[in-house]
Structure 1
Amino acid sequence: MKMSRSSSSRKVDSAGSRFCAAVLLGLILLGCVRESCGAGDDGDVRGKQMLERPCDEIYVVGEGETLHSISHKCGDPFIVERNPHINDPDDVFPGLVIQIIPTNLQ
């Protein structure tokens, strides 16, 4: 049975989406493990950083947002580089899940 190009393309897209979701889940779990293992005297500092952070590491794009506005809001100028599932920076839509790593924390 011969598969059409659009069908195989959808399978590749689906596999890529599942891979990205697995990577993001792994990052979340890794962050949870790091936080629970590193509870020491610097716990107050980490708590303040968490309160001052403008965005979560896993960010869901909202209506009317662009990568530029998210980058400015969250302090992460490298959103495209950190999210290989974004093929076209101009094609950002509500509900898209991206990884954010703020670089301007004080």
Structure 2
Amino acid sequence: MASSRSPVCYADAARWYCLIFLVLLVVLGSFTDENSLIKKMNPTAGQACDEIYVVGEGETLHTISDKCGDAFIVEENPHIHDPDDVFPGLVIKITPSRNSRS
């Protein structure tokens, strides 16, 4: 004997289940620690660096700032006259902020 439900009813039910599933994913995703997500995407982000840092190939002050947690590299290194003129081998002083140490 054939079922009395039409395929449209099954499609509506499936649509509702998908909607509920997506809402649950969004709600559960909002409980994820943002810092752990950033560390998963970039494991070196916010790591404490040595006080003396040697710029590597392809690095910029922005990438070093993100990596070492020092937002004031230019202010703390008076020998850097042009922030765009950073080259491999340049020695800079790093002073991480208190937030990145913890």
TM-score, normalized by length of structure 1? 0.50
Shift of 1:60: 0.2
The aligned runs of 1:1-106 (5 Å cut-off) are 53-103=47-97, 104-106=100-102
SS in structure 2 of the partner of residue 62 of structure 1: coil
CA-atom RMSD, angstroms?
Answer: 1.5
For structure 2, which runs of at least 5 residues remain unmatched after alignment? 1-45
Question: How much identity, in percent, do the aligned residues show?
Answer: 75
Q: Runs (4+) of structure 1 moved beyond 3 Å? A: none
- Once residues 93 and 68 of structure 1 are traced to their aligned partners in structure 2, the CA distance between those partners, rounded to angstroms, is 13
TM-score, normalized by length of structure 2? 0.52
For structure 1, which runs of at least 5 residues remain unmatched after alignment? 1-51
- Once residues 53 and 91 of structure 1 are traced to their aligned partners in structure 2, the CA distance between those partners, rounded to angstroms, is 24
Contact kept, 8 Å, 2:47 with 2:69, in 1: the verdict is no
Q: Which has the larger share of helix? A: 1
Shift of 1:105: 1.1
AA in 2 matched with 1:84: P
- Once residues 70 and 94 of structure 1 are traced to their aligned partners in structure 2, the CA distance between those partners, rounded to angstroms, is 12
Shift of 1:92: 0.1
What do the CA deviations read for 1:41-64 (whole angstroms, capped 9, x no partner)? xxxxxxxxxxx9531000000000
Which of the pair has more CA radius of gyration?
Answer: 2
